[in-house]
Amino acid sequence: MYFWLSRLRNSLAAKVLLLIAVVLILCLGLHSWGTMHFLKKHTASKLSLEADRLSKTILLSARYAMMANSRNEIDQIVSDIAKHPDITSVRIYDKQGVIRFSNRADEVGTQVSMDTPACSACHVVEPPRTALTLKQRTRTFTVDGVEQLGTITPIMNEPSCSSAPCHAHNSGHTVLGELELILQTDKAFVGLDEIQNKLLSLTGLIYILSVSLLVFGLRRYITAPIRRIIKSTKRISKGEPSRLEAMPRTDELGQLVESVLAMEKSVAGKQAELDKKRREYQELFEQVPCSITVQDADMRIIKYNKEFAERFNPKPGAFCYEAYKGRTEKCVNCPLDKTFQSGRPHCSEESRINPDGTKVHWLVHVAPVFDENGKVVAAMEMALDISARKRVEERLLTSEAKYHAIFNHIPNAVFVLDVEDNTIIDCNDMAERSYGYDAGEMHNTSFIQLFPKEEQDKARSYIKAFTALNRVRQKRKDGSTLYVDFRLSPAIYNERNVLLVTATDVTDRLETEQKLIQAGKMATLGEMATGVAHELNQPLTVIKAASGFIMRKVKRSEPIDPDILKTMAEEIDSHVDRASQIIDHMRAFGRQSDHALERVNVNDVIQRSVDMFISQLTLRGISVEMNLKENLPAMLGVANRLEQVFINLLLNARDSIEEAAADGSTEEKVITLRTYSTPRAVVAVVDDTGTGVPAGLIDKIFEPFFTTKKVGKGTGLGLSITYGLIKDFGGTIRVKNKKEGNGAQFTLTFPRSSSRR
């Protein structure tokens, strides 16, 4: 019995059925009660209407007798009507409350009180009411257990009553009396009781049928599918197929089936993944390239991997010290014993002598294994063979001494800098000698202090941004200046991020190059002498003409018109400025330039180069076309030296065009210069319509003292100097012969100042 009660209490179907049964009882009971209540109310209302209709019928029947004052006839009418089995009494009252007519003779002439139910309906207020609604004229009451309905109907005063000669009433009276009719209602409600019993029976039948259908529906559409789903979930938990594919999937249970099938698929996937992971971990445990063992509290080996089995070949149930070292008792400083005592991991380095006399070393790491109560029940020991590392360490000590000697004997200065504050962590002997410091004196000092004070902030940013720096000016300990080329690269030094800086002293080379470049400038200025003379001759001619005019006027004592004098003075002034600009430009071009790089606009340099050389080219019939991009990004260089690059290219283009014209291979004499930019570079292109570069010599034209010109016409240094200057600015130069005609094309590429690294 208790089992079934417990099962019902834990059954979802039983709970749903009980809930529905209670709801059905409440709903059907409320429906039955409401139906009977409204039916009784309707019956009572209908009975009131019938009583009122009967009362009015009685009054109409007795109207003629009342008009004729025939009392006997009225008594007869009242008596006859009262004989009806449903009528209890019929009374006619006058306006003073005296019963004038009644089916009960003992009541005739009786005076009733005004607070009786028959009178109080009108006399409850003063003056009495003259008009009542049906509800106010009707009342129900019980006499000897029998329900009765009483209704009163007022007898209204009519003109025939107030004007008749027989018993004329006062015309000022509205109500002359009233008729009271009392009916028995128990017979009227007998049918209602029968209807109520049938309604209750029908309600019970509907309840039983509904519950039966619900039980059937619950078992078929809820209980049975849920039990099937429960069995399927149990099969899924065991790793078996759910077998739910055939179940319908249209309702909520179908959605549950879909969810269970999705869960089954997910669980199957997870289980397959778990099995795969288990196999992988087992394979990892077996294939890991180190020895792994699990020991119990007695230090007996209870599990081990393949590596341990192959290395130590343990006996079943052997102690760890027997398997590892062949000992008969545990080690003095045993990490396994420490782990069991403290419950924490421990590490140690162990070694032993093999039977063949070789010594092996291994690194031991022991980790505790806890049970559910937090007690150490076992320990996992991992032994990593470090014999090879030990041998490498010994060789490393020897190698370190060797490479330290090499580091100190490198012919260039080498610095090891901290990447954050540029502190010198280490440097070789050459660095100390190059900068004039004693041994160890540069350690832990700032590398930035080796730069001039005015360039130290710039040096910090350059060191972070660039991987190479050329011709950098620095100071020795005695204050003298040296120029170096830097190569910078990040590295790891003693587990610390550092910056390796290799410094090559190029002071002597720069001095030699400077002399060579200066010689090239002087040669260029010599070649431009004719053009410069022409440029200076024009302003001198204007000045000569103006001064001659003024002298003639002075000799003749003739006045000079102020406007003419002003115009001549302005012309003289402008041409003097023109000559000064030419001389200043040549002086600036001819002087030695600084080595410091600055932001340079290539378009401006090209414009100045063409301005200096345009007269000479014009005299030779050579035109210059320029297609310079506006807002060209800047590059890092030296404007003076970059100008020499373009002048050298213009001279080469001039000579090539003249040679082609002499051979008759071209009639077009044009030099084209154009510039453009890419996201990381500034590009300048110089085209000519000359002879081009002979086949097979393109790779040699930048070599020093190599020239394709006739003997005595070229030194072979122009393009070599150009190549060196462009390389100093971090750029490149390429040359090729044009496909569409005669001539060569030189392409110069420089890093943009914002992207140079």
Identify the burial level of 645 via C-beta atoms within 10 angstroms of its C-beta, where 0-12 means exposed, 13-18 middle and 19 or more buried.
buried
pLDDT of amino acid 587: 57
The pLDDT tens digits for 29-53 are 787 777 777 777 777 777 778 777 8
Q: What is the mean pLDDT of residues 298-326?
A: 79
Give the pLDDT band (50/70/90) at residue 398. confident
| Dist CA 436 CA 626 (whole Å) | 51
**pLDDT of 254 strictly over 80:** no
Question: In the structure, what pLDDT confidence band is assigned to residue 756 with cuts at 50, 70 and 90?
Answer: very low
Please give the torsion angle defined by the CA atoms of residues 171, 175, 181 and 182, in that order, rounded to the nearest 10 degrees. Answer: -160
Other beta carbons within 10 angstroms of residue 315's beta carbon come to: 10
Q: Which domains does the chain have, with CATH numbers?
A: 15-188 (3.30.450.20), 213-285 (no CATH), 288-384 (3.30.450.20), 409-505 (3.30.450.20), 596-757 (3.30.565.10)
In this structure, the strands spanning 424-427 and 744-751 are unpaired
Residue 212 burial (C-beta neighbours within 10 Å; 0-12, 13-18, 19+): exposed
Under a CB-based contact definition with an 8 Å cutoff, are residues 528 and 617 in contact? no
Looking at residue 240, its pLDDT comes to 75
Q: Which of 43-52, 95-104, 186-195, 674-683 has the weakest average pLDDT? A: 186-195
Q: Residue 290: which of 196, 387, 356, 215 has the closest Cα?
A: 387
Q: How far is CA 557 from CA 545, 547, 655, in A?
A: 18, 15, 54
**Is the pLDDT score of 524 beyond 70?**
no
pLDDT tens track for 575-614: 566 556 556 555 555 555 555 678 889 899 888 888 777 7
Confidence of residue 676 (pLDDT cuts 50, 70, 90): very high
- Quick check: 274 pLDDT over 70? yes
Per-residue pLDDT of 349-386, as tens digits, reads: 887 777 666 777 878 888 888 888 888 888 888 888 77
Q: How do residues 696-754 score in pLDDT, each as one tens digit?
A: 666 666 655 445 555 444 444 556 677 777 887 788 888 888 776 678 888 999 998 76
Q: What are the DSSP E strand ranges found in 577-621?
A: 598-600
Non-local CB neighbours of 482 within 8 Å, separated by 6+ positions: 434, 435, 473, 474, 475, 476, 505, 507
> 501 vs 404, which has greater pLDDT?
501
Q: Cβ(615)–Cβ(582) under 8 Å?
A: no
Nearest-10 Cα torsion for 153, 158, 163, 169: 30
The per-residue pLDDT for range 279-302, each reduced to its tens digit, is 887 777 777 777 788 888 888 888
Q: What is the pLDDT of residues 198-253, one digit of tens each?
A: 777 887 788 788 778 777 777 777 777 777 777 777 777 777 777 766 666 666 66
**Residue range 651-668: mean pLDDT, rounded:** 80
pLDDT-above-90 percentage for the chain: 2
How far apart, in Å, are the Cα atoms of 374 and each of 377, 513, 523, 612?
Answer: 9, 79, 92, 92
pTM, full prediction: 0.33
